[in-house]
Structure 1
Amino acid sequence: MVDVILGLQWGDEGKGKIVDYFAPNYDIIARFQGGPNAGHTLYVEGKKIVLHQIPSGIFHQNTINLIGNGVVLDPVTLKKECDAVAAFGIDVRKNLFISERTNLILPTHRALDKASEMQKGDSKIGSTLKGIGPAYMDKTGRNAIRVGDLLDKNFTTQYIKLRLKHQKLLDNFHFNEDISAWEEEFFEALEFLRTLKVVNGEYFINNLIGSGKKVLAEGAQGTMLDIDFGTFPFVTSSSTISAGVCTGLGVAPQKIKDVLGVTKAYCTRVGGGPFPTELHDAVGEELRKIGNEFGATTGRPRRCGWIDLVALKYTCMINGVTKMVMTKADVLDTFEELNVCTSYKVNGEEKAEVPFQMTKVNIEPTYKTFKGWHADSTKIKEAAAMPADMASYIKFINEYTGAPVKYVSNGPGREQIIHL
């Protein structure tokens, strides 16, 4: 049996804490897509740690953590992350497993990412420059080097061949930066990677499921960044939706049971791309300040706006969401009024659907206004203690999306979750 936790907006929904909260109920936590552009923030023993590639169950000593084949893996980031986790007394060699089909991010992938983004000028998509797009391009172009290739005696030949191909592309971009230090770090990290448990991921996970073990598949980024269904071209390079679990881990669709979708009580977005409910005023600034909205991976200030129910209903539909988790509800504690987007005016016409290409139409959000609850929600432990105005805000979201909010996160602490 596989349950899934994924983001229903543009990423940064607070999935790390939610996975960490649910992790003790599962035997395996598995990452099924994305790369080191994802940052899942956890608080362990009161200290903050951001995980980029290691699944968020690593701090639960009896939990198996699997990096699946749908992930693109940067060995350098992985080594640094393992060192950071080891500082908490956790031995990653014990419960971290990596699928041999996982694709590697090479130093030249990072260089290509940088060169390509620089050339785009004003039409930059806001890449994190971690080499993710170019790594996925090599995967679909059937050129990629995978973790299992590290054990092949011809690995160096394979590496040189791909590096030369990349060098030709970099020459076309007139990219002259010296990346020899990146390469040195990369080969050092490969030696470390060879000491970890590399497994045949699809057999590994299916055998565990067959023996009655419970799997939690952990998504990175959010549905509105999905390569197919997101705000293309301002998207990531992988399948961030529940269907990506099947291709990113090698499990059959009927093995998936619950899909827990995570949404903020408002909306944020990092980097370029359409964002219909974005606020360019003092309210947006206030949301950013109270919510401490700066990227976990990049530190970039996040764009902030009201919750967009047109997009949220769309992402619930695509993922088959069975339960929603609403995070950062406490950020709205002090607002007099709250707006909720219930439809779009697309080129002057009222619509309740996400358009094919948001960048090519003029979208105006239509709002329904709710009274703020003016109470400190961070102290609430149970649903009965919730202010009436907070309960009616959530009830409206349930009714509009058709997917029930079952959990409300009301602070960064692991225990700050109200079960509805």
Structure 2
Amino acid sequence: MSPSRTVHIVVDLGFGDAGKGTMTDWLVRRHGAGLVVRFNGGAQAGHNVVTDDGRHHTFSQFGAGTFVPGVRTHLARPTILHPLAMLVEARYLAERGAPDALARTTVSEGARIITPFHQASGRLRELARGSGRHGTCGVGVGETVRDALAHPDDAVHAGDLARPAVLVRKAAAAQERLRSELSEELRAARPHPQAAPELAMLEDPDVPSRWADAVQALRPRERIVGDDWLAPRLSEGTTVFEGAQGVLLDEWRGFHPHTTWSTCTFDLALELLRDAAFDGAVHRLGVVRAYATRHGEGPFPTEEPALAPAVPEPHNDAAGWQGDFRVGGFDAVLARYALAACGGVDALALTHLDRLAARWPVCTSYRAPPGNDGGTLVRDAADTSRVTALRLGPHRDLAYQERLTHALATCQPVREELDLGEQPAGRPERFISWVESTLCVRVAVTSHGPAARDKRERGLTPPTATR
């Protein structure tokens, strides 16, 4: 009998950090998946997995199922590859018991490549903004996408990694082009203490050839595949499509300009499945925390710094380019907006339920001053200061998204507290019932800790295999 052909697509319904990594790891183990497909974003991902035996890794480019022996990773065409960062991550994984992670990885020849010059340019652009930061992870994903859209014929793709002469030529052209295009930003950023190494990267003429030599350690002729590679693998059994970032950071549906240069909904995964003529079962799983989080800049209505001591964050901090890790009460308004933005889900995965307290902060509506919000806010007819939802605007209309961002900045959450009871054992079910009734979506998986053994299934699908 041929194995069941099933795809699980994992998407974050928040600003990221909801638990896509731990959920991907659990799905791989629970359903015997042999392949994890990364279908959006790139090296800015940070998907934390803790194994039952205590090993931890923050997955950036490798699929979060890599700790399971034999499970492969495929970086599909929409992803953005950072070759040197992948080599570094492979070494970390080897130290944690996955020495063959790179050998189990393939990359679409059409995936765009981050050069050192795109990373440096993205950092310098953010430094030049000063107090008007947009928010960045500092690895060059946004700058790579922007440059590829502006200069498609000169974009560096994974297929170029196997052609050293072409790679050097394109990298050198990118260095020169970016240095010229960002001349004003370079002047503005130059006094900043963090600017010096990034400026040196753009000015050193030897970097393109040194970088091209270094990335050959990826063994690109073995690693890079055509887009027709994926379709037959999807017929081999269960596959997990692992999303990056979160729907509230989506390039078209997020709160512009505090967004990522990537589509974070199910769209890209579904497009890949259509291209592969996949006709098996597809399950869309939306992941959300029991409380709201945001790492870095941008609007965050329910932010509540006083909640932070009760929800310690062992794997996210304020170090690096992203900035502060912020927490707040569960925001049903943003959750409903995310559900609408991604076209709905088949079920929810609700994480961090071990953090619940007897009195738990939530929000189901906002207060906003009267005024012209550009039609972005859904207001109560009887009380126009009460905002019940965010209106989904035209797709790919960044002007609308910017108006929505400004309107959201005027909103104040109507804070409520759920009485979840004094006994910790009973709190998760009470909270799950509230989430299901508030969002009108079934919670199919719950997570009560960082490891796979801490997950509970509530009718997702029957397992196809045991691993």
Q: Is the 8 A contact 1:7 1:261 kept in 2?
A: yes
Q: Relative to structure 2, which stretch is displaced further, 81-90 or 119-128?
A: 81-90
Counterpart of 2:148 in 1: which secondary structure?
Answer: helix
CA distance 1:228–1:290, change in 2 (3 Å): closer
Q: Does 1:412 align with 2:417?
A: no
Alpha-carbon distance between aligned partners in 1 of 2:120 and 2:37, rounded to the nearest angstrom: 29
Paired residue type of 1:37:
Q
Distance 1:291 1:52, change over 3 A: closer
Could you tell me which residue of structure 1 aligns to residue 388 of structure 2?
Answer: 352
Are residue 79 (structure 1) and residue 87 (structure 2) matched? yes
CA 1:415 to 1:182, structure 2 compared with 1: closer, same or farther past 3 Å?
Answer: farther
TM-score by length of 2: 0.80
Q: Distance in 2 between matches of 1:255 and 1:235?
A: 33
1:268 aligns with 2:293: yes
Q: 1:184 to 1:299 in 2, by over 3 A?
A: farther
Q: Is the 8 A contact 1:337 1:372 kept in 2?
A: yes
In structure 2, the partner of 1:136 is 145
Secondary structure class of the residue paired with 2:349: strand
Note the C-alpha offset of 1:243: 0.5
Q: CA offset at residue 164 of structure 1?
A: 1.3
**Aligned mates of 2:304, 2:49 — CA distance in 1:** 28
Aligned to 1:343: 365
Shift of 1:93: 4.1
Q: Does 1:5 align with 2:16?
A: no
Corresponding residue for 1:380?
Answer: none
CA deviation after TM superposition for structure 1 residue 106, in Å:
0.7
Cα distance between partner residues in 1 of 2:65 and 2:17: 18
Greater alpha carbon shift after TM alignment, 286-295 vs 257-266: 286-295
Deviation at 1:16, TM superposition (A): 0.9
Structure 1 residues 84 and 290, CA, compared in 2 at 3 Å: closer, same or farther? closer
Matches for 1:52-91 after TM superposition, within 5 Å:
52-87=60-95, 88-91=97-100
Alpha-carbon distance in 2 for matches of 1:324, 1:244: 19
2:330 to 279, 286, 307: 307
8 Å contact from structure 2 (residues 311, 355) kept in 1: no
Verify the 8 A CA contact 1:246 1:252 in the aligned structure 2: no
Change over 3 Å in CA distance of 1:399–1:189 after alignment to 2: farther
Whole-angstrom distance in 1 between the partners of 2:238 and 2:65? 13
CA distance in 2: counterparts of 1:103 and 1:290, whole angstroms:
32
Q: Quote the offset at 1:374 in angstroms.
A: 3.5
Query: 1:352-403, CA deviations, whole angstroms, 9 ceiling, x for partnerless residues?
Result: 2225444312102224431133444xxxxxxxxx51x432321121122121
The question of whether the paired residues in 2 share the 8 Å contact of 1:76 and 1:185 is answered with: no
Alignment of 1:224-239 (within 5 A): 224-239=248-263
Residue 363 in structure 1 maps to residue 411 in structure 2: yes
Task: Please show how residues 30-179 of structure 1 align to structure 2 within 5 Å.
Answer: 30-44=37-51, 45-87=53-95, 88-141=97-150, 142=152, 143-152=154-163, 153-173=165-185, 174=187, 177-179=199-201
Distance in 2, matches of 1:110 and 1:135, equals 8
2:228 to 203, 226, 245: 203
**Does the CA-based 8 Å contact 1:98-1:197 persist in structure 2?**
no
**What is the CA distance between 1:417 and its match in structure 2?**
1.2
Per-residue CA deviation, residues 167-219 of structure 1 (Å, 9 max, x unaligned), is 2124332356212597677335411123573344531111222x343221101
Unaligned runs of 5+ in 2: 1-5, 191-195, 371-384, 392-400, 459-467
Take 2:213 and 2:105, find their aligned partners in 1: how far apart are those partners? 19
* Per-residue deviation, 1:317: 2.8
Structure 2 Cα separation of the partners of residues 39 and 184 of structure 1: 29
Q: 1:222 aligns with which of 209, 233, 246?
A: 246
One-letter code of the match for 1:75? P
Residue 275 of structure 1 and its aligned partner are, at CA, apart by 0.7
Q: What is the Cα deviation at residue 343 of structure 1? A: 1.5
Q: Check the 8 A contact 1:97/1:196 in 2, yes or no.
A: no
Runs (4 or more) in structure 1 with deviation over 4 Å come to 180-185, 247-256, 290-293, 295-300
Distance 2:179 2:457 in 1: 53
Kept after mapping to 2: 8 A contact 1:11/1:269? yes
Higher mean alpha-carbon deviation, 264-273 vs 153-162, is at 153-162
Q: How far does residue 301 in structure 1 lie from its aligned partner after superposition?
A: 3.8
Q: What letter is aligned with 2:419?
A: K
Contact between 2:48 and 2:315, CA under 8 Å: does it hold in 1? Answer: no
Is contact 2:295–2:323 with CA below 8 Å preserved after alignment? yes
CA distance in 1, matches of 2:244, 2:421: 31
Structure 1 residues 409 and 89, CA gap change in structure 2 (3 angstroms): closer
Aligned-pair Cα RMSD in Å:
2.5
1:294 offset after TM fit, Å?
Answer: 2.7
The separation in 2 between residues aligned to 1:106 and 1:246, in whole angstroms, is 29
| Equivalent pair of 1:265/1:329 in contact (CA under 8 Å) | yes
CA contact (8 A) 2:250 2:259 kept: yes
For 1:70, give the aligned amino acid.
Answer: P
Q: What is the alpha-carbon distance in structure 2 between the residues aligned to residue 292 and residue 151 of structure 1?
A: 35
Q: Alpha carbons of 1:243 and 1:327: their partners in 2 closer, same or farther (altered >3 Å)?
A: same
Tell me, yes or no, if the aligned pair for 2:288 and 2:351 is still in contact at 8 Å.
yes
Whole-angstrom distance in 2 between the partners of 1:295 and 1:248: 35
Q: CA deviation at 1:12?
A: 0.6
- Residue 358 to residue 253, structure 1, CA distance change in 2 (3 Å): farther
**Conservation of the 8 A alpha-carbon contact between 1:110 and 1:129:** yes
**SS of the residue 2:57 aligns to:** strand
Distance 2:317 2:64 in 1: 20
Q: In structure 2, give the amino acid aligned to 1:321.
A: V
Q: Determine if contact 2:138/2:322 at 8 Å carries over to the other structure.
A: no
